[in-house]
Amino acid sequence: MNAPRPDGPQSPSYPYGRLIRDLDGEGGRSVELTPRQGFVVPKGVVHRTRALERTVMLMVEGAGIVPTGD
C-alpha cells in the first residue's frame, strides 16, 4: 500500500524481524529496519511498508490518526 502522510509524520516502527520502507519523492529510497531500530516517515511522504520474512512491528500514532489501511 502506498500512503501519503498529509496529517503529520508517522511515528517510528520498531520491528521484530526485517522491515523495509520504500519512500517516494526526491531520489526515492528504501530504508531497511532490523530489530529495535526506528524510522520516522516525514509528513507528506508517500511510502510503502513491506516485509520479506515474518515480521512484527509496533507503530505509534497520534490520537487523531485513524489507521484504516486505505
- Residue 52: band (very low, low, confident or very high) from pLDDT cuts 50, 70, 90: confident
Q: What is the pLDDT of residue 68?
A: 67
Please check whether residue 16 is in contact with residue 59, taking contact to mean a CB–CB distance below 8 angstroms.
no
Residue % of the chain over a pLDDT of 70? 71
Give dist(CA 46, CA 52) in Å, integer: 20
User: Taking all residues of the chain, what is their mean pLDDT, rounded to a whole number?
Assistant: 76
Q: Which residue in the block uniquely carries the three cell numbers 519523492?
A: 25
- The pTM of this model reads 0.65
Distances in Å between the Cα of 61 and the Cα atoms of 2, 9, 53, 55 are 17, 9, 24, 19
Q: Please count the CA atoms within 13 angstroms of the CA of 15 that sit on its side-chain side.
A: 17
